[in-house]
Structure 1
Amino acid sequence: MRHQYFHTKTKAFFSVESISDFRKDTSHSTPNKWFTILISTKVNGEMIIDDFKLSLNKPNAIFITPGQHLHFPDKTIFEVFSISFNKEFYCIEYHDSDVSCNGLLFVNNFNSVHFVLEAQQLSIYTNTAEEMVAELENQASLQDEMLKNLLKNLLIRSNRLFREQMSIGEIDDANIDFARKFSGLVEKHFKQIKMVVNYAEMMGIAPASLTKRLQKYGIESPSRIIKNRVVTEVKRLLMYTDKSVKEIASIIGYDDQYYLSRLFTKDTGISPSEYKKSQLKL
């Protein structure tokens, strides 16, 4: 069942849904609209985020950003609370200093963010989701503030659990924040800007220093991250639209469709047309 909050003036949106409702709005052809936290209470099978297959056999918390495509194979057993919101309701970047997330959970071009929920933590997460539902049903005064506080507490807990399971210490905060800033710039500008030197200039450092700083966080080179984002966008447009390679090249900022095809083929091992055919068979 779906429970939601929407403010007509600010366009702030927040919802808590069951997996059956969420799946109705989630398919290969429809990108996720919101920042979404999936709290799986029972799971056995696969969840596909874009073309990344996530195999799950334990309860998990999974974080999905706007624009990502989700797919649940029919054979997957998946019972979940879905907590979704937009930036008008709770802006991740603005609230980073409050919840100390530093972009670990949502602003992340480097990994699919998810972690296991053991029995005690699963109970806390499901209780929080149920408290959100109760608040949405009550329609009491200051409802949005109560929902934001519940969401903030959930994000704080998630940040701590993710750090713990990934062995990320407080000493890494500066590097994490640096990586988050670069990730955000790539997400915002990758269609127009492809050169590392331009991103380094936006961050106020030399290209070599940008590479070294990112290596401290154990992630790929800046050029690789930019290319990965471009290839991911090409895959999304091939899988979920009927646009031609020429149209896709124009959308992503390439004048030469053949250059984009060569880049894609070199990265994936197959041509764009072959990739599209392979996805249609799934």
Structure 2
Amino acid sequence: MDTDQEIEVQLKSSADFQQPYQTPFYQILLFKGKGSFIVDFTEYTFSGNTILFLTPYQCFQWNSPATIEMECLRFHGDFYCIEYHKKEVACNGLLFNNIYLAPHITISDSIYSEISALLLKIEDEKQVGSNFSSAILKAYLQLILALCSKEKSIYLNNGALNGSSLPELVHFQELLEQNFIQERSPAFYASKTHLTPNAFGKNIKKQFGKTPTQLIQERVILEAKKLLHLTHKSVKEIAAELNFEDEFYFSRYFKKSVGLSPLHYREDVGISIVAK
């Protein structure tokens, strides 16, 4: 894959996403307005200057009648590995790969203009091209990711996004992180938080916009994606590690959620440099 295919900036319209859309690239979408969109079957609303972060093969669909123009930056994990550079930008688990947080934030006019200017610099550098282009493009990308990580951290610290005030919800996140491999029944987590399954389900849905079943499945799939991308383990080994009966059941489970097989996912997304 050459540099032209590994990172690019596109001007898009929300009309381009009227149907479910997936790609093996990480994506950052910058847009203004008011409306809603769907990511992995969960609907989110937005208003004002918005920046949205999508991981490879997340399913994205526009859900508003209004047509909005947007700037789209996409990059492949082979070009820039967010796990390898986590000390510099700290975006893995903050901007990307977090099932508990909304995938977007509202940003100020100044930050919006700064990121838009950096996207223009990426476009210009790709047009010019040089022996140093790859390094320059990575520097611009890293700056964008660092700025966004800083903004989202501020946003979260101010309690503006998914601030969980109920102890049982915090407890659920801790329980899920500890038990998702062995326990995939919502009833297990409801009992541990001392709530009826019905009350537990309503609280989780209200807080996260997702059902307990969705969150459990998303956590399993997130771990599967990490193992496929960050290790050289075989599909059989990953299936066993995630407590599936066999690799065939795991492959069906993965494909139903992601839309393609584990092997196809690994082929398109690649194996990270950290796997070495």
Asked whether the two chains share a fold, i.e. TM above 0.5, the reply is yes
Do the aligned residues in 2 keep the contact of 1:47 with 1:53 (CA within 8 Å)? yes
Structure 2: distance between partners of 1:45 and 1:224:
23
1:129-140 to structure 2, matched below 5 A, reads 129-140=119-130
Aligned-pair CA distance for 1:223: 8.9
1:18 aligns with 2:11: yes
Q: TM-score scaled to structure 2, two decimals?
A: 0.58
Do the aligned residues in 2 keep the contact of 1:32 with 1:70 (CA within 8 Å)? no
Do the aligned residues in 2 keep the contact of 1:196 with 1:223 (CA within 8 Å)? no
SS state of the match for residue 19, structure 2? coil
Do the aligned residues in 2 keep the contact of 1:125 with 1:154 (CA within 8 Å)? yes
1:120 aligns with 2:107: no
Compute the RMSD of aligned alpha carbons. Answer: 3.9
Aligned-pair CA distance for 1:155: 0.7
Structure 1 residues 58 and 29, CA gap change in structure 2 (3 angstroms): closer
**Match of 1:251?**
252
Structure 1: distance between partners of 2:40 and 2:88:
30
Q: Which runs of 5+ in 2 are unaligned?
A: 160-172, 185-191, 193-206, 223-247, 255-276
Q: TM-score scaled to structure 1, two decimals?
A: 0.57
**Match of 1:28?**
19
Structure 1: distance between partners of 2:128 and 2:18:
31
SS state of the match for residue 73, structure 2? strand
| Percentage of pairs with the same residue | 23
Aligned-pair CA distance for 1:74: 5.8
Structure 1 residues 48 and 196, CA gap change in structure 2 (3 angstroms): same
Structure 1: distance between partners of 2:67 and 2:128:
31
**Match of 2:195?**
none
Structure 1: distance between partners of 2:118 and 2:127:
14
**Equivalent residue in structure 2 for 1:195, among 170, 182, 185:** 182
**What is the identity, as a one-letter code, of the residue corresponding to 2:253?**
I
User: Per chain length, whose mean CA-contact separation is higher, i.e. which structure has more relative contact order (CA < 8 Å, sep 6+)?
Assistant: 2
Structure 1 residues 248 and 67, CA gap change in structure 2 (3 angstroms): farther
**What is the identity, as a one-letter code, of the residue corresponding to 2:2?**
H
Aligned-pair CA distance for 1:229: 4.4
- How many residue pairs are counted as aligned between the two chains? 191
**Match of 2:229?**
none
**Equivalent residue in structure 2 for 1:7, among 2, 6, 9:** 2
1:83-122 to structure 2, matched below 5 A, reads 83-122=73-112
Moved segments of 4+, more than 6 Å: 247-250
Do the aligned residues in 2 keep the contact of 1:44 with 1:58 (CA within 8 Å)? yes
Q: Which runs of 5+ in 1 are unaligned?
A: 1-5, 170-178, 187-192, 198-207, 209-217, 233-246, 254-282
Aligned-pair CA distance for 1:28: 3.4
SS state of the match for residue 68, structure 2? strand
